Structure 1
Amino acid sequence: MDSLGQLLKQMRGPSFIQRSQEIADELLRDPAVRELRKEHPELEESLLRMNVTRLYQFATDRRHCDRCPGLDRCPNDFQGHYSKLEVEVVNGITELVERKVPCTLQTAKQQEDLIKKRIRSFYVDERALSEGYNEVEIMGKDRNRAPAVNQVFRYIRDVRENGLPNKGLYLYGSFGTGKTFLMSYLLHELAITGHTGVIVYMPDFVEDLKGMLSDNVKLKETVELMKACDLLIFDDIGAENLSPWVRDHVLGSILNYRMNRKPTFYTSNYALDGLERHLSFTNKDGEEGHKGQRLMDRIAPFVDVVHLHGENQRRRQ
């Protein structure tokens, strides 16, 4: 839609004055302007006519917002924002001040963008982090999951009320029961409160680490990121093909730093004893029980174990 200036620029002489008065009369009858005058009875008509350009933008934005076509197709001059008129008294003179204000859709998008900036994912399907969450749906998908879901909900609530503890969660269960989804939900909800987080899909991460052997800068940055973030999630631990270097120098270093400092979370198909057997075996040195136990000493005491029962959701899709 053309601006008021563009409309009036097409006119000259008497027609300009006449059309300006007609537009001002129309604006004074506009529902949004009438509402403004009702809220501010001190506004005199002469002041409103002096601010006809602001009134035009204000009324036009209000009509667009009333018929909002969505944020991506916002027709307002400043996408995702609308003109708001405020009355101020400066040196005893009443003035009409225009400000651009973000709409609810724009505010929600800004909040979601801020949340995404707090979360880093490595090799995890982005849909698990961005498809949206509904607590009723999470609980209702499979009632067998209720005890585990309640425990995740309780953890989130406790963090909101009391801050981050040193302990994380160890979520284990069968294939396709929603472990990654639940941990992504936890990460998203705690990012809303301002916490940073990293989620790592272990099989792909371990393979990628081999390429970082020749890139010490990237390796150091990755490890430091995992050490420093508020919440770290190792997704599908136990499914990776371990080497002694990854187990002892990468995982060991990260977990040694985080224990007693920041919570670490895990999803796995193994219970803790099964994970210890897995961590005791590497493709190079075979079984080394003491090294697996050493790593478990940095995992088991610092998690609450959550057994996720339920049906394979992938087969139901």
Structure 2
Amino acid sequence: MFLDCIKSYCKDFVVDDKNKQVVTDLFHWCIRDKKGAYNPEKGLWIYGNIGTGKSTLMKAILLFVTKYWLRDSGEGVKPKWVNVPTFCGTYATDGFSVFDSIPMGFDELGTEIAPTNHVGNKLNVVAHLINTIYDNRSDIPKIITTNSSLSGILSLYGPRTVDRVAQLFNLVELKGMSRRGTEDIWKMIQKEQNKDKE
């Protein structure tokens, strides 16, 4: 079930010893298993290096939710996701109305320009978003992906936001290097950097 959702977004996605436990734990979260590693009442904060499958897993989870979840009212769930810089751009043009309808998924947190400006009002949109999610909790938890480390999140958004992240989300780390087949370029960059140090 869950693997089919993953493969629908990335047919080449590989489940191996490096990510098998996380994928299994995410499946248990998807089926709302209270005995699983992740609390199904909390959202998912998926972080790790670039190319480790964070966005693919988020989109697969949203597809699973579309197929199998029901709201407390009994109606189906139709989750949406947005790229965080796009969300911030919407704030820049539309202002606070962007927070009226918060999607379930947010991709690429930490890549936005902060603060974002709307008619002279500067706002750290992500910090405000986390506070809005905190203040208006719903029966549908949120999913966020980021390449930023937890200490990087502290630097970007401050201690209040980090404290709320811990309350709202399961912390899901995808370890390892990029799985996009780009090892050669990273090796070349490392060689260049080592040469520059000499």
TM norm structure 1: 0.44
Shift of the 315–171 alpha-carbon distance from structure 1 to 2, 3 Å rule, reads same
Structure 1 portions without partners, runs of 5+: 1-128, 214-218, 280-291
What is residue 145 of structure 2 aligned with on the other side? 267
What is aligned with 1:191? Answer: 66
Match of 1:204 among 75, 79, 86: 86
1:150 corresponds in structure 2 to 24
| CA 1:209–1:130: 2 relative to 1, 3 Å | farther
Say whether residues 1:237 and 2:109 are aligned partners. Answer: yes
Give the CA deviation at 1:268: 1.0
Aligned pair 1:224/2:100, yes or no?
yes
C-alpha separation in 1, matches of 2:56 and 2:126? 29
Amino acid at match of 1:186: I
Q: Is the 8 A contact 2:58 2:105 kept in 1?
A: yes
- Contact 1:166 1:259 (8 Å CA) reproduced: no
SS in 2 for 1:304: strand
Once the two structures are TM-superposed, the CA of residue 253 in structure 1 deviates from its matched residue by 5.0
Which protein has the bigger helix share? 1
Q: Which letter does structure 1 place at the counterpart of 2:174?
A: L
Highest RCO, 1 vs 2 (Cα 8 Å, sep ≥ 6): 2
1:312 to 172, 178, 185: 178
Q: Sequence identity of aligned pairs in percent?
A: 25
User: Do the aligned residues in 1 keep the contact of 2:7 with 2:13 (CA within 8 Å)?
Assistant: no
Q: Are residues 149 and 204 of structure 1, via their aligned partners in 2, closer, same or farther at CA, if it must alter by over 3 Å?
A: same
Q: Is the 8 A contact 2:51 2:180 kept in 1?
A: yes
Cα pair 1:236 1:267 within 8 Å, conserved: yes
Letter in 2 for 1:180: S
CA-CA distance at 1:256 after TM superposition: 2.9
Shift in Å, 1:248: 7.5
Aligned residue in 1 for 2:72: none
Greater Cα radius of gyration, structure 1 or 2: 1
Partner of 2:110, secondary structure, is: coil
What amino acid maps onto 1:177 in structure 2? T
Q: Contact (CA 8 Å) 2:88, 2:125: kept in 1 or not?
A: no
Partners of 2:101 and 2:149 lie apart in 1 by 27
Deviations 1:281-314 (A, max 9, x none): xxxxxxxxxxx22222322112111110234133
1:176 shift after superposition: 0.8
- TM-score (norm. length: structure 2): 0.67
296 and 258 in structure 1: CA distance in 2 versus 1, 3 angstrom threshold: farther
Q: Does 1:295 align with 2:161?
A: yes
Give deviations 1:18-61, integer Å, cap 9, x for gaps.
xxxxxxxxxxxxxxxxxxxxxxxxxxxxxxxxxxxxxxxxxxxx
Report the alpha carbon displacement of residue 151 of structure 1 after superposing the two structures with TM: 1.6
Check if 1:132 corresponds to 2:8: yes
In structure 2, the gaps of 5 or more residues are 69-75, 116-121, 184-198
Cα distance change of structure 1 residues 248 and 313 upon mapping to structure 2, 3 Å threshold: closer
Number of residue pairs matched by the alignment: 163
Instruction: Decide whether the 8 Å contact of 2:130 with 2:165 is kept in 1.
Output: no
